[in-house]
């Protein structure tokens, strides 16, 4: 009976704009329950299915506790499936690392690596033993796998997500009903992050030309296209069998 069907719950970070926003729009269109987490609410989105939590993921402790307690209060029977999509990410000033302010480096790693780790820990702890599919996406990048000068902290955070996924996949595979984890590169997407890469000072970040070329040759996905690819990957029956993946391999 449709009226008694349980919804899927997805928690999406960084849904105020860019890829995360498009993911949130597509999940709401499917009738999913959604929690979004970022410093600003997702522009133009409102629905009884949507809860937005304002949080600065550079300081993820409070929102990780909030996520744990909220999930624990819902209980194991509330949802048909639960997903955590750690999408928020940030690039520090694009320059050789010795030229970048310490606070900027710290922010890139806190938002890009520490926050996904803490939210994932809270999610796994709160939903352990739930008799439903539990999936975690860590939105990574090709730059976690191919180093690029001028963005060392971003490369390090994304490589960290990849190895976090490998280790977590081993832990969860050892548990009955363990969660499935994938660190997923989403392709190259026409968002504010690309504007930042293209707009960087070429004397400190010559790679900016390559990003300009990606745009002029039409190689960028729209946020909507990229979101559809991420969600198609999430829905794959073999999700989690390869802990480090790329939507372009699908």
Beta-strand (E) ranges in the chain? Answer: 8-13, 33-38, 50-54, 81-86, 134-139, 180-185, 244-246
> Cα separations (Å) of 249 from 185, 224, 227, 242?
10, 18, 15, 11
Q: How many CA atoms are closer than 13 Å to the CA of 241, on its beta-carbon side?
A: 7
Task: Note the Cα 56 to chain centre separation in Å.
Answer: 15
Do 175 and 238 form a contact (C-beta atoms < 8 A)?
no
Per CB under 6 A, the list member of 189, 234, 245, 247 interacting with ligand NAP is 189
**Which parts of 46-85 interact with ligand NAP (CB under 6 A)?**
56-58
Least distance to ligand NAP from the beta carbon of 74, Å? 23
Looking at 1-9, 13-21, 75-83, 97-105, which segment touches ligand NAP (CB under 6 A)?
13-21
Looking at 34-42, 76-84, 117-125, 168-176, which segment touches ligand NAP (CB under 6 A)?
34-42
* CB closer to ligand NAP out of 14 and 240: 14
Sheet containing 50-54: order of strands: 50-54, 33-38, 8-13, 81-86, 134-139, 180-185, 244-246
State yes or no: residue 116 binds ligand NAP (CB under 6 A): no
Per CB under 6 A, the list member of 20, 150, 160, 243 interacting with ligand NAP is 20
Distance CA 245, CA 250 (A): 9
Do 89 and 112 form a contact (C-beta atoms < 8 A)?
yes
State yes or no: residue 188 binds ligand NAP (CB under 6 A): yes
State yes or no: residue 124 binds ligand NAP (CB under 6 A): no
Least distance to ligand NAP from the beta carbon of 56, Å? 5
Classify each residue of 93-117 as buried b or exposed e, where b means 16 or more C-beta atoms within 10 Å of its C-beta: bbbeeeebeeeebebbbbbbbbbbb
State yes or no: residue 104 binds ligand NAP (CB under 6 A): no
Q: How many residues bind ligand NAP (CB under 6 A)?
A: 27
Q: Which residue is nearest to ligand NAP (CB)?
A: 18
Least distance to ligand NAP from the beta carbon of 76, Å? 28
State yes or no: residue 87 binds ligand NAP (CB under 6 A): yes
Residues that bind ligand NAP (CB under 6 A): 14-20, 38-40, 56-58, 87-90, 111, 139, 141, 186, 188-189, 191-194
């Amino acid at each position: 009976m449709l009226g008694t069907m349980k919804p899927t719950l997805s928690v999406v970070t960084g849904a105020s704009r860019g890829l995360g926003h498009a993911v949130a729009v597509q999940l709401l269109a499917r009738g999913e329950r959604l929690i979004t987490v970022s410093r600003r609410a997702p522009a133009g989105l409102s629905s009884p299915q949507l809860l937005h939590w304002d949080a600065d993921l550079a300081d993820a402790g409070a929102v990780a506790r909030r996520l744990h307690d909220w999930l624990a209060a819902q209980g194991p029977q509330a949802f048909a499936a639960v997903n955590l999509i750690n999408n928020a990410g940030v690039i520090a000033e694009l320059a050789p690392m010795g030229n970048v302010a310490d606070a900027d480096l710290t922010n890139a790693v806190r938002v890009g690596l520490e926050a996904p780790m803490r939210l994932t820990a809270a999610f796994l702890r709160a939903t352990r033993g739930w008799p439903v599919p539990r999936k975690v996406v860590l939105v990574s990048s090709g730059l976690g796998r191919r180093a690029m000068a001028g963005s060392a902290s971003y490369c390090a955070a994304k490589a960290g997500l990849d190895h976090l996924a490998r280790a977590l996949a081993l832990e969860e595979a050892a548990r009955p009903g363990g969660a499935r984890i994938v660190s997923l590169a989403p392709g190259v997407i026409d968002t504010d992050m690309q504007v930042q890469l293209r707009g960087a000072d070429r004397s400190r970040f010559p790679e900016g030309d390559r990003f300009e070329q990606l745009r002029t040759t039409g190689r960028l996905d729209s946020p909507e296209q990229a979101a559809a690819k991420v969600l198609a990957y999430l829905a794959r029956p073999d999700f989690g069998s390869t802990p480090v993946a790329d939507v372009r391999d699908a």
